[in-house]
């Protein structure tokens, strides 16, 4: 009997080895620093790799759950944190590429793989043997002598299991599984629809009169976009590098309206890319899940693990900021209306007029046009400037590495070192393309953690949608794009400087309303002349950015601050409205949004335009009941940067304190404890209101 099995076993071993050789996701990554072998991965590799990795992870979890030894932190919590690393590696590659470089084949893979991963995740959370072990450690926590990071991991894991249905009866667990599967599918559909709707619209211009008012850089970019689409003339898309400057500079009100209506109707119009029913289904299922777990609303469930803690605290902060922002916003709109009238405009300011006339007023008031700044902000110079800031604050150095495989030729890769020690691999992906989602974000292909004496360093990526270089000029950034890169780089620092033992609490694995502090504080350096002098030189003449131009930036920084603050608050309140419902929404998405935030709108309502149907942060991302976190973190970052202003914006001791207490600690301790340890006191909104000119 044993003899007859030998050939079969040999065949199986050979077949497995052959499969691993053919599928790069099933083999060790023979690449620099075990980076993903993007040059070898094909769409057909993902499904078998995910299935194999799930089987491996399932066996690891079952070994933990069935361990005959008494449950301890090490054999249960630490072991669980170490499990599934192969699966993590594969899914990080897959889902990140689905955002940055997707195509129909990859989208089909994601749709097939997503329910497999959801089911496996539920199998872990709803495993009674595993939860019994976790609960036993939790109940003995005060006697175990755990350090702070271990105690935090234990609390986080126990509460996550509770929130993921571990305490439900069998019928409840089965319904929880059904809801989780459906939500994962709906979120994918929402994101695909948003991307497709964004890519579907192109405003094709063939008459040079349609270009009135546009800066040469935008005209060149539009000509290049047309050429890429085999069109004559110029093509204007809904991608931010085109949409924003067109709305700001175009003298053609009819074209601004056309573009604005297209932007505001993404995902709203009936058809294959419509997100209306998807939103209602997502919010209804999230509500049902919250009630299943004993909570009144989805927000009540989510905010248990946030600094804000309750919806009431979120609304209190939003109201405090709203009281300061709304009167200022109304004054600003009236000022722009009056200014437009002096320019011969005799209509009511509409939302497609606001970018144009508010910017004209800004230029008139401060003698400042952002186009003046762009020649000093070539992309390469800005990247060097961001690296210099990281070096001055945290001692980091960045060395290009051309041997690391790339998922697109536009991507750049760097080794990041501190005091000779490798801290991370950094990927930079700057330009828009058909397969890339809009906006900007930081992500990781691998998070930082330790196993024994091995410190596994992170693979971090920053993805943006900046204007591409043309035949005549390098990529030149706006001031807002400089702030965007600094923002995402702050997230990257949070990941790259992590010094945690457990992956579940490392890097940016922190409360959602705390995660924006490291990113938003970085934006403060953008308007500091001492910093700009390090890198901001004219790309043709090499001249340093003039002091008077920087002063114009500083003087104009709070222009329409009330409106911008009101807009951000409105988005936070819209998010909370969708996630504090106590019954499924019956009315249309447009009607719901109008009831939720229509009273905050400073422009006339326009039928057929909507925010919710393209609000990917909350319906396809991780910000549901958490979008307020941007304003929450603004309070923190304004207060924190005050310390840098007092001691010097490059003060190494202050930076080291920020690194030690915030960046390196991840989510290993409660964020308010970390913050007060750095700042010496709890934050208030005073610094933010002062910085914004709202007080």
Name the residues annotated as catalytic. 488
Please enumerate in sequence order all residues whose Cβ is within 8 A of that of 62, keeping only pairs 6 or more positions apart, or say none. Answer: none
CA dist 661 and 673 (Å) reads 9
DSSP character at residue 620: T
> Are the beta carbons of 613 and 276 closer than 8 angstroms?
yes
Please enumerate in sequence order all residues whose Cβ is within 8 A of that of 328, keeping only pairs 6 or more positions apart, or say none. Answer: 561, 562, 563, 565, 566, 694
Please enumerate in sequence order all residues whose Cβ is within 8 A of that of 240, keeping only pairs 6 or more positions apart, or say none. Answer: 432, 438, 439, 465
3-state secondary structure of 470: coil
- Which residue's entry shows tokens 């497709």? 196
> Are the beta carbons of 395 and 482 closer than 8 angstroms?
no
CA dist 657 and 670 (Å) reads 17
- For residue 632, give the nearest of 579, 678, 576 by alpha carbon: 576
3-state secondary structure of 461: strand
CA dist 107 and 99 (Å) reads 10
> Are the beta carbons of 426 and 56 closer than 8 angstroms?
no
**Within a 10 A sphere around the Cβ of 130, how many other Cβ atoms?**
23
DSSP character at residue 543: P
Q: Is 12 exposed, middle or buried (0-12, 13-18, 19+ CB in 10 A)?
A: exposed
CA dist 664 and 236 (Å) reads 43
> Are the beta carbons of 439 and 197 closer than 8 angstroms?
no
Enter the tokens of residue 587. Answer: 């009315």
Strand partners, 418: 396, 421
> Are the beta carbons of 524 and 294 closer than 8 angstroms?
no
> Are the beta carbons of 614 and 500 closer than 8 angstroms?
no
- For residue 308, give the nearest of 677, 569, 671 by alpha carbon: 671
Please enumerate in sequence order all residues whose Cβ is within 8 A of that of 357, keeping only pairs 6 or more positions apart, or say none. Answer: 336, 339, 340, 343, 345, 349
Strands 459-463 and 421-429 turn out to be parallel
CA dist 21 and 18 (Å) reads 5
| Residue count (the chain) | 695
Q: What share of the chain is helix, strand, coil (3-state, %, to 5)?
A: 60, 5, 30
CA dist 486 and 388 (Å) reads 12
Please enumerate in sequence order all residues whose Cβ is within 8 A of that of 609, keeping only pairs 6 or more positions apart, or say none. Answer: 260, 261, 264, 265, 268, 351
DSSP 339-381: HHHHTT--SPPPTTTHHHHHHHHHHHHH---HHHHGGG-BHHH
- Which residue's entry shows tokens 């024994």? 452
Please enumerate in sequence order all residues whose Cβ is within 8 A of that of 92, keeping only pairs 6 or more positions apart, or say none. Answer: 443, 444, 445, 446
Enter the tokens of residue 239. Answer: 């991608």
CA dist 561 and 552 (Å) reads 15
């Amino acid at each position: 009997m044993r003899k007859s099995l030998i050939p079969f076993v040999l065949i199986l071993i050979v077949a497995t080895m052959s499969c691993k050789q053919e599928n790069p996701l099933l083999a060790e990554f023979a690449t620099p620093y075990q980076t993903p072998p993007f040059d070898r991965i094909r769409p057909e590799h993902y499904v078998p790799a995910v299935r194999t990795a799930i089987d491996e992870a399932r066996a690891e979890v079952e070994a933990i759950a069935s361990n005959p030894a008494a449950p301890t932190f090490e054999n249960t919590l630490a072991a669980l944190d170490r499990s599934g690393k192969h699966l993590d590696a594969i899914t990080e590659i897959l889902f990140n590429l689905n955002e940055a470089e997707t195509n129909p084949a990859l989208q089909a893979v994601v749709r097939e793989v997503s329910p497999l991963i959801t089911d496996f995740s539920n199998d872990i959370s709803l495993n009674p043997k595993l939860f019994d072990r976790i609960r036993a450690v939790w109940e003995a926590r005060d006697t175990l002598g755990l350090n702070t990071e271990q105690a935090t991991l234990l609390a986080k894991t126990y509460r996550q299991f509770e929130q993921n249905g571990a305490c439900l009866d069998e019928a409840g667990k089965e319904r929880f599984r059904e809801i989780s599967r459906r939500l994962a599918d709906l979120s994918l559909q929402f994101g695909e629809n948003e991307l497709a709707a964004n890519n579907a619209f192109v405003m094709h211009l063939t008459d040079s009169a349609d270009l009135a008012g546009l800066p040469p850089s935008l005209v060149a970019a539009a000509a290049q976009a047309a050429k890429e689409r085999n069109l004559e003339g110029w093509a204007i898309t809904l991608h931010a590098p085109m949409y924003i400057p067109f709305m700001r500079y175009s003298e053609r009100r009819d074209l601004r309206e056309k573009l604005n209506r297209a932007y505001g109707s993404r995902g709203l119009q009936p058809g294959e890319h419509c997100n209306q029913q998807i939103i209602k289904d997502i919010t209804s299922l999230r509500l049902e899940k919250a009630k299943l777990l004993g909570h009144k609303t989805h927000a009540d469930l989510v905010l248990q693990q946030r600094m804000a803690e309750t919806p009431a605290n979120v609304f209190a902060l939003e109201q405090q900021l709203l009281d300061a922002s709304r009167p200022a916003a109304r004054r600003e709109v009236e000022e722009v209306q009056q200014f437009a009238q002096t320019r011969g405009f005799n209509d009511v300011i509409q939302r497609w007029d606001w970018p144009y006339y508010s910017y004209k007023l800004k230029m008139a008031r401060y003698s400042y046009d952002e186009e003046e700044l762009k020649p000093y902000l070539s992309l390469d110079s800005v990247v060097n400037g961001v690296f210099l800031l990281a070096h001055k604050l945290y001692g980091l150095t960045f060395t290009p590495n051309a041997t690391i495989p790339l998922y697109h030729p536009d991507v750049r890769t760097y080794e990041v070192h501190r005091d000779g020690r490798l801290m991370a691999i950094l990927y930079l992906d700057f330009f828009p393309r058909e397969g890339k989602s809009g906006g900007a974000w930081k992500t990781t292909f691998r998070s930082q953690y330790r196993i024994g004496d091995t410190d596994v360093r992170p693979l971090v990526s920053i993805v943006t949608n900046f204007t591409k270089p043309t035949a005549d000029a390098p990529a030149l950034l706006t001031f807002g794009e400089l702030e965007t890169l600094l923002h995402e780089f702050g997230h990257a620092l949070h990941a790259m400087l992590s010094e945690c033992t457990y992956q579940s609490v490392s890097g940016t694995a922190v409360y959602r309303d705390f995660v924006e502090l490291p990113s938003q504080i970085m934006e403060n350096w953008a308007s500091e002349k001492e910093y700009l002098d390090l890198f901001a030189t004219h790309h043709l003449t090499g001249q340093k950015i003039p002091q008077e131009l920087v002063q114009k930036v500083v003087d104009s920084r709070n222009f329409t601050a009330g409106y911008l603050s009101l807009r951000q608050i409105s988005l936070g309140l819209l998010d909370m409205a969708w996630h504090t419902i106590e019954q499924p929404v019956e009315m249309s998405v447009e009607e719901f949004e109008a009831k939720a935030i229509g009273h905050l709108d400073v422009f006339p309502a326009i039928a057929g335009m909507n925010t919710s149907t393209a609000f990917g942060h909350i319906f396809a991302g991780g910000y549901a009941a958490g979008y307020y976190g941007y304003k929450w973190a603004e309070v923190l970052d304004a207060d924190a940067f005050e310390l840098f202003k007092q001691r010097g914006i490059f003060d190494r001791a202050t930076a080291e304190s920020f690194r030690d207490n915030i960046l390196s600690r991840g989510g290993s301790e409660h964020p308010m404890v970390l913050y007060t340890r750095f700042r010496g006191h709890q934050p208030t909104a005073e610094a933010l209101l002062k910085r914004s000119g709202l007080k």
